[in-house]
Structure 1
Amino acid sequence: MSNTNVETVTSTRDRLKLGLAVLVIIAGIVAFSMLEGRPPLVRVGVFIGSLVVAALIAWFSEPGRRTLSFGRDSYNEVKRVTWPTRKESTQMTGIVFAFVAAMALLLWVVDKLMEWIIYGLLLGWK
């Protein structure tokens, strides 16, 4: 029986690589806490070093290569996006603020109307 969704299938070797990457990150966290008396630069350096090593280990797995490929494709797609001009962004922001203010006013009026109906007319409270 063959699996048609090849993207989700990983080999045992890839699973071991990803597991090792997670263990390296955990070791970095433990080392960060164990080096409490050391200068902060050393502690942060050890932790960042563990992240780099874990990223390198994960990069050599198939899911890591797919993730890198996805990142490259996403970056290329973002470069093709037509971004709005400053004027368009300012105008759309103004429209959103005006709509929010109008909705707030409408909801306030509805709230006061319901308050008047419920407390004033039905319950007789003032």
Structure 2
Amino acid sequence: MATSEVQTVNSSADKAKLAAAVLLLVAGFVGYYLLASQGSLVRVGVLLGGILAAIIAFAVSEPGRQLIAFARDSWRETKKVVWPARKEAIQMTAYVFAFVFVMALFLWLTDKTLEWVLFDLVLGWRK
């Protein structure tokens, strides 16, 4: 029997880093709105500074390092994918569109047939 394991933040240092990241993010947004009388360059600078500081605080925590490692592994796996040639991609797209059209036609015909059977023959609503 397989057990599902939920990963949590274990160390108090990581909890503090995550809390700091959230506080820095909130501080950036609050600063943006509190500095409404300042120029837009100052306000956007405070907002971006808060977001950047929050990203840095998150990146130095263990969950942040795990996320960065996951992103690197994902990028590495993406490079291994063999993408189809343009001709193959166009052919497959055409097959999908043709299949969708045929299925739509089939479902429309089925709907109209059932409508005719139920309303005209069984219930006699349309005369």
TM-score by length of 2: 0.86
Q: Is the 8 A contact 2:9 2:63 kept in 1?
A: no
Measured on the aligned residues, the alpha-carbon RMSD in Å equals 1.8
Q: Aligned to 1:14, what secondary structure does the other structure show?
A: helix
5 Å-filtered alignment, 1:50-69, equals: 50-69=50-69
CA shift, 1:63, in A, is 1.2
Alignment match, 1:74: 74
- Aligned equivalents of 1:39, 1:58: Cα separation in 2: 29
Q: Aligned to 1:65, what secondary structure does the other structure show?
A: helix
- Aligned equivalents of 2:93, 2:27: Cα separation in 1: 46
Alignment match, 1:12: 12
Compared CA separation, residues 96 and 28, structure 1 to 2 (3 A): same
Aligned-pair identity in percent equals 49
5 Å-filtered alignment, 1:84-103, equals: 84-103=84-103
Letter matched to residue 91 of structure 1: Q
- Stretches of structure 2 that go unaligned for 5 or more consecutive residues are none
Paired residues, number: 122
Compared CA separation, residues 26 and 96, structure 1 to 2 (3 A): same
CA shift, 1:69, in A, is 1.1
- Stretches of structure 1 that go unaligned for 5 or more consecutive residues are none
Compared CA separation, residues 91 and 54, structure 1 to 2 (3 A): same
Of 66-75 and 108-117, the range deviating more from structure 2: 66-75
Alignment match, 1:48: 48
- Aligned equivalents of 2:35, 2:56: Cα separation in 1: 24
TM-score by length of 1: 0.87
Compared CA separation, residues 47 and 97, structure 1 to 2 (3 A): same
Letter matched to residue 21 of structure 2: A
CA shift, 1:6, in A, is 9.5
Structure 1 residue runs of 4+, over 6 Å off?
none
